[in-house]
Chain A
Amino acid sequence: MNLLTELREGLSISWSAIRANKLRSALTTLGIVIGIVTVTLMGTAISGLNSSFMTSVSSIGADVLFVDRRSWFTKSAQEWIQGQKRPIITLAIAEGLARQLTLASAVAPVADTEADVNYQKRRASSVSIVGTTENYITTMGLTVAAGRFLSAGECNGGRPVCVLGSVAATNLFLEASPLGQKILIDQHPFEVVGVLEKLGGFAGDGGLDSQIMIPIPQYTKNLERNPNYEIQVKVSHLEQIEDAADELRLVMRRLRQLPPGKPDDFAINQQDQFLELFHQLAGTIGMVGIFITGLSLFVGGIGIMNIMFVSVAERTREIGVRKAIGAKRRTILLQFLIEAASICLLGGLIALAIAWPATLLLNKIMPAALSPTIVGIALLVSLVTGVVSGFLPAWRAARMNPVDALRNE
């Protein structure tokens, strides 16, 4: 008998065995269902968190350095206050950087504030308004969905124009096209020249999608006279990011006229600081997740093993008959392994049927997606649980002596 027929026979035998003991099978399956639901939800949550974070981070780019007054990761309140006392970063510094940096491909000064925005009768309050230059689209890795981005001319003191983030556009214009329309930012009129592609994820939902970008001259004229800028520096080659950061630091010190020995009064921030922190966090969540899922799967597996021992004991006579008729050890072993695996796979499928709507619900709170990989892993884990916990009982069945098995009452 070849393996394929054995598998098919094993499947049909185990199916009828499962059906013959519906309640028992259901209760046994429950343990696995709980285990696999935990696996799936945990995996979904972690991968959802991971992917949305990664896409946001990579959409901004690992090749961008951020010059700020203080580090993104201040470790104490004191440090924070000290940072606050540092001189602000001015436009002059940004211009100096743009002139002197050799390893940078784009430099964009960025200032931001909040303002109320009106379009006809519609009104949005506390919208994030970003004053920047034409380079912002490069440093942030943004894409224009309609119209165009701010031009160099506009950023050197042209007309009052603006570019909308996708969410800002729909908030003000609903379905209508904003291009060429006039909106009021803090009561000053601006013409919309472009709308950006939706980013989504952490970055988009976190603000990039709902902001409005205007040229710096308009920003300083209408909103904030002397803002503190963040300067975004995109390096030409990612491999040179360390050198570029060193160069940036030297040029910054020169522009700030810091004598040797005096500490920096600015900070150079980088995405991978974020990444590092995030990976630490994700690692911890992952470990806890694996432990919890492992535990619940272990309990489920014990249940399967237990019930398979019962099943083997109950069917001792059947095993005897099958052996008398010509079933080999392998056939009997496979039959019970398949039975255990089937129960677990069934549990896995039920678990996925439960986890799927649960993920949709979860998605309302945090990014979560039931990816094919997770589905595959869940099914694989249930299969392996079945085979592992079914092995001992199946082995016992396979090794039974037919004479003793037949004599069993």
Chain B
Amino acid sequence: MGTETVHALREVSLEIQKGEYVAIMGPSGSGKSTLMNLLGCLDTPSGGSYELNGIRVSQMNDNQLAEIRNREIGFIFQTFNLLPRSDALRNVELPLIYAGVSPAQRRKTALETLASVGLADRVHHKPNELSGGQRQRVAVARALVNRPSILLADEPTGNLDSKTGTEIMGLFENLSNNGNTIIVVTHEEAIARQSRRIIRIRDGLIASDERIR
């Protein structure tokens, strides 16, 4: 077994303001997902530091990170990652459960959030009874339900056809207009063009960082 240390990211220095809508682009293996994991507090950097809302996250332990993720981060994955045995409502309730919200309150909030992504009539459907686009909407609702500081989406349209992909991006546009901070990883130039700032990564380094629109 080789134990070669891979530095997926090096010398990345980055500042993202509240309310920004950022796209991260780069070839496969360039370190985009690694960056997202760090930003999402799923992982801590082996070196360097990361501050979220002025809180130093890079030195936190497992449980503290879990709490930060629950409060501050909303994840949207390429493969949706919904719990297969739970219906849409329960999937969306999950972050509220972990936040300790009372059953009545979390049901209300979850239903409202599902309605806001246009799924008011699908709350009791299990993931396998929903289309890909609908699944990703459930995932968006789940990411939003705790009113996090950042929405992180790693190739959210990667498993969708272009039409549903456009729909999801429309949803993001609305969220951004409502003041949410959004970071999207994507391969597609067209999708990146919908954001306000594009960061390009190559071999673990930031190649460019430009504001558009």
Contact = CB atoms under 8 A, between A and B. Distances in A.
Interface residues of B, number: 26
B108 interface: no
Q: Is the interface of A mostly helix, strand, loop or mixed?
A: helix
B99 A326 contact: yes
Interface in A315-337: 317-318, 320-331
A402 B98 CA distance: 16
A23 interface: no
Contacts of A320: 81
A46 interface: no
A173 to B, nearest CB: 67
B43 A403 contact: yes
A77 interface: no
A322 B98 CA distance: 9
Interface string B69-95: 111000101000111011000000011
B66 A5 contact: no
A325 B94 contact: yes
23 contacts: A1-B100, A5-B97, A20-B85, A318-B83, A321-B82, A322-B94, A324-B42, A325-B69, A326-B66, A326-B67, A326-B70, A326-B98, A327-B66, A329-B62, A330-B63, A401-B43, A402-B42, A402-B43, A403-B42, A403-B43, A406-B42, A406-B77, A406-B81
B156 interface: no
A331 B94 CA distance: 12
Interface of A: 1-2, 5, 9, 16-17, 20, 317-318, 320-331, 401-403, 406
Nearest to A401: B43
Given A20-B85, A403-B42, 6 more contacts: A2-B100, A324-B40, A326-B67, A326-B71, A328-B67, A402-B43
Contact of A327 (B42, B86, B98): B98
B142 A5 contact: no
B152 to A, nearest CB: 10
Contacts of B94: 322, 325
Interface string B93-133: 01101111000000000000000000000000000000000
Nearest to A9: B97
A5 B142 CA distance: 20
| Among B82, B85, B146: residue with most chain A CB under 10 A | B85
| Among A318, A322, A324: residue with most chain B CB under 10 A | A324
B194 interface: no
B164 interface: no
B166 interface: no
Contact of B66 (A20, A323, A406): A323
| Among A9, A322, A326, A401: residue with most chain B CB under 10 A | A326
B37 interface: yes
B85 A16 contact: yes
A16 B97 CA distance: 17
B142 A325 contact: yes
Contacts of B100: 1-2, 5
A329 B63 contact: yes
Contacts of B75: 324-325
**List of 9 A-B pairs having minimum Cβ-Cβ separation, nearest first:** A326-B70, A326-B98, A1-B100, A328-B66, A321-B81, A328-B63, A402-B42, A325-B95, A403-B43
A17 B85 CA distance: 8
